[in-house]
Amino acid sequence: MSNTGIEHQFKIKYKLPIIIVPAALILATGIGGSSYFAASREAHVQINNKLSTIVEARKAGLRGIAGDGQSHDDISCKQATDSGVCLKAV
């Protein structure tokens, strides 16, 4: 009986790395890819949350300015008096 088949051409010390190295590369690529996509998705969620918070804060600020019945000059003067100077035209 001759040992000419592919399974008999290489010794075990060559077969094992031929099997293990590609398997490890495939596994590492799969884990790395899934980690990247999970981190990317989480980053997008956090960015959207941050932007939503900023938008809501700006809406509340605009509602505060527009909804209190003060004129623009009164608001400017109030903001200026906080710094110590108010130049209001009479």
Residue 44 has pLDDT above 90, yes or no: yes
Determine, yes or no, domain membership for 17.
yes
31-to-11, 28, 48, 84 alpha-carbon distances in Å: 31, 5, 26, 60
Predicted pLDDT of residue 1: 47
- How many structural domains comprise the chain? 1
Is 65 within the bounds of a domain? yes
What span, in angstroms and rounded, lies between the C-alpha atoms of 90 and 72?
14
At 3, the pLDDT band (50, 70, 90 cuts) reads low
In a domain, 78, yes or no: yes
> What's the domain range around 39?
10-83
Identify the pLDDT of residue 9: 79
Give the pLDDT score at 66.
75
Let me know if residue 34 belongs to a domain: yes
Decide: 89 and 74 in contact? Cβ < 8 Å: no
pLDDT score for 45: 96
Residues 7-26: pLDDT tens digits? 567 788 888 999 999 999 99
